[in-house]
């Protein structure tokens, strides 16, 4: 007797192979049979639950390789916004933000730092083992694959100081990283435009990447804002891979400078050349021409040293406030002009200003946009989020199509009920958008290749060997969808909405989304990396 049988379905197994027709059986959390009516394994189709997959496609559960759900899954273990997309594994700890290691002496700084990317929660654990226990105690519907964050390592070792780490502080970071990897972390991320990761120089990152190479773990980088443009940032990332031999993931590849839009082929050639040289590098991308982050990311780095309270104290000083305004006249990230009408406020703790642009809010308050930015950051600290419309559809399509691309949302697993926010739609629609917009409607990708970029390829890169494919003996993380109906429905500046066309999701063999209804099951677990 099987636990679940999904019958008469088109199977897209995650490897990039052509779809096949057949049935899939599950028992005790594992795929126990895959085949057609004539397959010996499928002669006994009895099951406690039978799902008719006629007219639908069965895929491995999607692995979101780039998320910031570290603390949102502590808040709400359902992970609704991702579960409804067919995501069964969240890779957390990206862009330098991770929920471990936590130094109790710096707990306020840790909470302030994490509020930039995930949720304003004060951790009650200190290491990955404690964080994993907290997730399991709360109960999670999705699996979690954790990375250690460079910013969090730095906060633990030295607070939020804008300076080079001492030998002792770097040794603490190295030690903490070793501990995290020994406890099962899949690698480490940097966020080299986010404070305090941005304060770490190339040599500091190299020292940590060497630890990753020793453990055969992943280095994921939100790149530095290197001069003169994104080509220099890609070159620095490639050089790190060249020197250390670590596997490199370049996070959310994009071109943000208007004068560089449409030149994606140059970046892709750099990745191809690096691969030809033997550097193990790939990149993730999400299918939207807008990004999102904390508004504080766009303040001068010196202003953010010491955390939000130190920033507020500086802004209360007239001379330092004038210096901040002067520095902001140079633009952001290598002199990119401020496009205030393209900054849309997406979240504040009290819901004020949400949906407005910085330009329109500044006009209504009769202040300059840069002064408004300082005021908003003073009031809300790291908890004010913005969406930035500064990319192009042509670049997004080119990056998605490239063989080295994998899909990552850069979003959070959160509830669809967001009374004080209008979050970026990537939180709710990344994977259905790829399948609907870029596979079915535009033909940018073939279905099997798109699924590979969301399942087997991220699993392979992370070193997850027991999921990411539909095959006998692997974990039963599965998603059932209608290829003619699947599509994202969330939009910018509007209340969140779940996608269409995804009916069932199984995590570790248990049905967590059943005909669109979220069950009470919480079968997710924190996965552990083993050396590849």
Task: Find out whether the peptide bond into 101 is cis, omega within 30 degrees of 0.
Answer: yes
Query: DSSP per residue over 431-483, as a string?
Result: HHHIIIIIIIIT-SS-HHHHHHHHTHHHHHHHT--SSSS--TTSB--EEEE-T
Judge contact between 86 and 114, C-beta under 8 A.
Answer: no
- Residue-level pLDDT at 32: 95
Question: Quick check: 335 pLDDT over 60?
Answer: yes
In a domain, 524, yes or no: no
The string over 303-324, giving b where at least 16 C-beta atoms fall within 10 Å of a residue's C-beta and e elsewhere, is bbbbbbebbeebbeeeeebeeb
340 and 400 together in one domain? no
- Residue-level pLDDT at 257: 87
Considering the chain, what is the average pLDDT of its residues?
Answer: 96
- Burial classification of residue 40, based on how many CB atoms lie within 10 Å of its CB (0-12 exposed, 13-18 middle, 19 or more buried): exposed
Question: Quick check: 292 pLDDT over 70?
Answer: yes
- Residue-level pLDDT at 531: 62
Segment 376-398 shows an average pLDDT of 95
DSSP-based three-state secondary structure for 27: strand
Strands (E) in 147-302, as ranges, are 148-149, 187-191, 218-222, 247-250, 281-285, 291-294
- Residue-level pLDDT at 532: 43
In a domain, 445, yes or no: yes
Least confident of 61-75, 175-189, 200-214, 219-233: 219-233
Give percent of the chain with pLDDT exceeding 70: 98
Q: Which one of 388, 408, 427 terminates a domain? A: 388
350 and 459 together in one domain? no
263 and 352 together in one domain? no
What tokens does 35 get? 């085949």
147 and 242 together in one domain? yes
147 and 278 together in one domain? yes
In a domain, 180, yes or no: yes
32 and 149 together in one domain? no
**Domain ranges, residue 41:** 2-60+495-518
446 and 398 together in one domain? yes
Segment 489-493 shows an average pLDDT of 96
- Residue-level pLDDT at 42: 67
50 and 123 together in one domain? no
Tens digit of each residue's pLDDT (9 = 90 or more) over 418-465: 999 999 999 999 999 999 999 999 999 999 999 999 999 999 999 999
- Confirm whether pTM is higher than 0.85: yes
What tokens does 177 get? 């990283």
85 and 139 together in one domain? yes
- Residue-level pLDDT at 210: 98
Residue for token digits 């004038």?
322
What tokens does 181 get? 């990897």
Task: Find out whether the peptide bond into 196 is cis, omega within 30 degrees of 0.
Answer: yes
Segment 10-14 shows an average pLDDT of 98
In a domain, 489, yes or no: no
**How many angstroms separate the CA atoms of 295 and 16, rounded?**
39
Q: Which one of 388, 403, 428 terminates a domain? A: 388
Domain total of the chain: 3
Least confident of 46-55, 247-256, 459-468, 523-532: 523-532
10 and 67 together in one domain? no
405 and 279 together in one domain? yes
123 and 188 together in one domain? yes
CATH number of the domain bearing residue 47: 2.30.40.10
Higher pLDDT, 35 or 334: 35
Question: Quick check: 41 pLDDT over 70?
Answer: no
Q: Which one of 373, 388, 403 terminates a domain? A: 388
In a domain, 24, yes or no: yes
CATH number of the domain bearing residue 418: 3.20.20.140
In a domain, 399, yes or no: yes
Tens digit of each residue's pLDDT (9 = 90 or more) over 83-117: 999 999 999 999 999 999 999 999 999 999 999 99
């Amino acid at each position: 007797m099987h636990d679940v049988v999904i019958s008469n379905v088109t199977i897209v197994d995650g490897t990039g192979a052509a779809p096949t027709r057949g049935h899939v059986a599950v028992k005790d959390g594992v795929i126990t049979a895959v085949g057609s009516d004539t397959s010996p394994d499928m002669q006994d189709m009895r099951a406690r639950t039978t799902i008719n997959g006629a007219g639908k496609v069965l895929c491995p559960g999607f692995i979101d390789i780039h998320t910031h759900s570290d603390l949102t899954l502590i808040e709400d273990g359902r992970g609704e916004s991702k579960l409804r997309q067919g995501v069964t594994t969240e890779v957390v700890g990206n862009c330098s933000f991770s929920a471990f290691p936590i130094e109790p002496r710096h707990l306020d700084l840790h909470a302030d730092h994490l509020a930039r990317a995930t949720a304003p929660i004060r951790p009650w654990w200190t290491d990955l083992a404690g964080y994993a226990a907290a997730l399991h105690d709360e109960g999670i519907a999705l699996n979690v694959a954790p990375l250690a964050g460079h910013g969090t390592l730095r906060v633990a070792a030295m607070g939020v100081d804008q300076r080079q780490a001492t030998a002792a502080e770097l040794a603490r970071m190295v030690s903490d990283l070793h501990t995290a990897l020994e406890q099962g972390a899949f690698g480490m991320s940097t966020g080299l435009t986010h404070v305090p990761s941005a304060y770490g120089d190339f040599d500091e990152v190299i020292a940590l990447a060497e630890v990753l190479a020793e453990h055969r773990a992943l280095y994921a980088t939100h790149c530095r804002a290197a001069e003169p443009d994104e080509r220099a940032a890609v070159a620095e990332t490639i050089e790190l891979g060249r020197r250390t031999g670590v596997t490199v993931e370049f996070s959310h590849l994009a071109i943000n400078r208007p004068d560089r839009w449409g030149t994606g082929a140059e970046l892709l050639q750099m990745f191809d050349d690096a691969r030809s040289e033997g550097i193990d590098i790939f990149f993730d991308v999400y299918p939207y021409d807008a990004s999102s982050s904390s508004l504080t990311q766009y303040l001068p780095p010196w202003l953010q040293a010491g955390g939000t309270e130190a920033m507020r104290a500086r802004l209360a000083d007239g001379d330092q406030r004038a210096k901040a305004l002067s520095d902001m006249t140079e633009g952001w990230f290598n002199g990119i002009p401020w496009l205030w009408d393209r900054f849309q406020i997406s979240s504040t703790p009290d819901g004020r200003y949400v949906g407005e642009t910085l330009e329109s809010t500044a006009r209504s308050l009769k202040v300059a946009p840069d002064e408004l930015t300082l005021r908003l950051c003073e009031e809300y600290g790291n908890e004010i989020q913005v969406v930035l419309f500064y990319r192009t559809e042509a670049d997004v399509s080119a990056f998605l199509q490239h063989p080295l691309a994998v899909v990552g949302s850069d979003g959070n697993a959160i509830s669809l009920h967001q009374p004080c926010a209008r979050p970026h739609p990537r939180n709710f629609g990344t994977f259905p958008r790829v399948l609907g917009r870029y596979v079915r409607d535009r033909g940018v990708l073939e279905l099997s290749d798109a699924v590979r970029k969301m399942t087997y390829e991220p699993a392979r890169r992370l070193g997850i060997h027991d999921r990411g494919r539909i095959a006998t003996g692997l974990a039963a993380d599965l998603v059932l969808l209608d290829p003619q109906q699947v599509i994202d429905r969330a939009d910018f500046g509007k209340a969140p909405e779940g996608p269409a066309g995804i009916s069932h999701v199984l995590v570790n063999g248990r049905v967590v989304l059943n005909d669109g209804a979220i069950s009470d099951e919480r079968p997710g677990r924190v996965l552990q990396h083993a050396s590849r």
